[in-house]
Structure 1
Amino acid sequence: MSANEIIFITGNENKLKEVQMILASNESHFVLVNRPLDLDEVQGVDLEEIALHKCKQAAQIVGPGHPVFVEDTALCFDEFNGLPGAYIKWFIKSMGLAKIVKMLEPFQNKQAQAITTIAYADHNGNFYTFQGITKGHIVDSRGPTTFGWDSIFEPLESNGLTYAEMDKKSKNLISQRGKAFEKFKKHLIN
């Protein structure tokens, strides 16, 4: 492993491609290496705590001296005080997108926040977290359903498009993942 490599722990190919796109730039002097490790899924509502737990476990597996990071993304409904939050992945697997949208049907408030939390361990074993938030609302599915809940989340800054309807470059400029990784990138460069 070279001195400028950083290990990204994910088994999600779509997430990996998006992160590679976001981190690609002339001013970054690091190389992203992917390792799909099976890490514990801590149950809880504290998104930073969940990400830090995974990062600590990943750092222990890859060993000392290797910078490593994990990323967790949550979809938090205002009406449900932040739920499904970190559990959104499991909601999608067990219910599907249409039923998730239907959960909000009786309520006027369809507002939601998409939140990405990055936990990073540097080569010295110091831990850091970076978070990005995008506000929007939940809508009936529009666009491709190939990436999580992108087709049911319409960001306020998207001119009426869901993430799934946006081109990747436009999405990354306003997405919670893009915002979190901009903070992470600044930390790495400095």
Structure 2
Amino acid sequence: MKIYLVTGNRHKFREIKELMDRNRIEIEQIDLDKPEEKSDDIKEIAETAAKRLADEFKKPVMVDDTGIYFTAWNNFPGPHPKFVWNSLGYEGMLKLLEGKERAAYFMTVAAYCEPGKEPVSFEGRCKGRIIDEIRCKDKDVQPYERIFVPEGYDKVWAEIPEIKAGLSHRVSAFQQLADHLKKNIQEKTRRGDDDGA
């Protein structure tokens, strides 16, 4: 069974495809930014989008929603990191954090849904901090990867790509989803029902 990851983000698709390939789950990209839901609840955003897109495309889909939560900003921007990035950029974000607590964490909710069914979702988190400089400006990475240092390390994600996969909030959420899919596929195979996960 083929599953479709709905994202317009090539970095995200590459990361999730590698993970799903290791789990022997075939995925393809639907190159589309998922609709932005009006909510501050990241789980609600991911599940609502998964259900809507599965019903719209009549295919099993996976989507995710990721937030970054700054302690100094009372967990803002939460599920709206793209808005903050587009509005403030690096300089604006770093200025707002001057002299403040730099603890932060990423959270991803990965959701899966088949047409006409209810979604399932899984959460991954990675704690760390925001540094006061922009690193790896020449690397093709997602914006926050240049300023986020995961807990227990002194380098930003862009400097440690080989370690990032083991720490990533997104990888954690999607690995839980992959485990769920494999279990359901095995159960359906035992029952003789091979129409999906």
* TM-score > 0.5, shorter chain as reference: yes
Match of residue 142 from structure 2:
147
Higher radius of gyration, 1 or 2: 2
2:171, 2:91 → 1: CA distance? 26
2:149, 2:140 → 1: CA distance? 14
Residue aligned with 1:149, SS: helix
Q: Which has the higher helix share?
A: 2
Residue of 44, 52, 57 corresponding to 2:52: 57
Amino acid at match of 2:158: A
- Whether contact under 8 Å (2:128, 2:150) holds in the other structure is yes
Residue 119 (1) aligns with residue 111 (2): yes
Shift of 1:186: 0.9
Match of residue 69 from structure 2:
76
**1:102-141 CA distance string (max 9 Å, x none):** 211131x110010111111036623101110000001122
Match of residue 163 from structure 1:
157
**Distance change >3 Å, CA 77–CA 118, structure 1 → 2:** same
Shift of 1:38: 4.3
TM-score by length of 1: 0.88
Alpha-carbon RMSD: 1.6
Structure 1 segments of 4 or more deviating over 6 A? none
Residue 42 (1) aligns with residue 37 (2): yes
- Whether contact under 8 Å (1:39, 1:57) holds in the other structure is no
Q: Percent identity?
A: 29
- Whether contact under 8 Å (2:149, 2:157) holds in the other structure is yes
- Whether contact under 8 Å (2:55, 2:114) holds in the other structure is no
Shift of 1:40: 2.3
- Whether contact under 8 Å (1:89, 1:148) holds in the other structure is no
Please, which runs of 5 or more residues in structure 1 have no aligned partner?
Answer: none
TM-score by length of 2: 0.85
Please, which runs of 5 or more residues in structure 2 have no aligned partner?
Answer: 184-197
Quick check: 9-18 or 98-107, which moved more? 98-107
Query: Number of residues paired by the alignment?
Result: 180
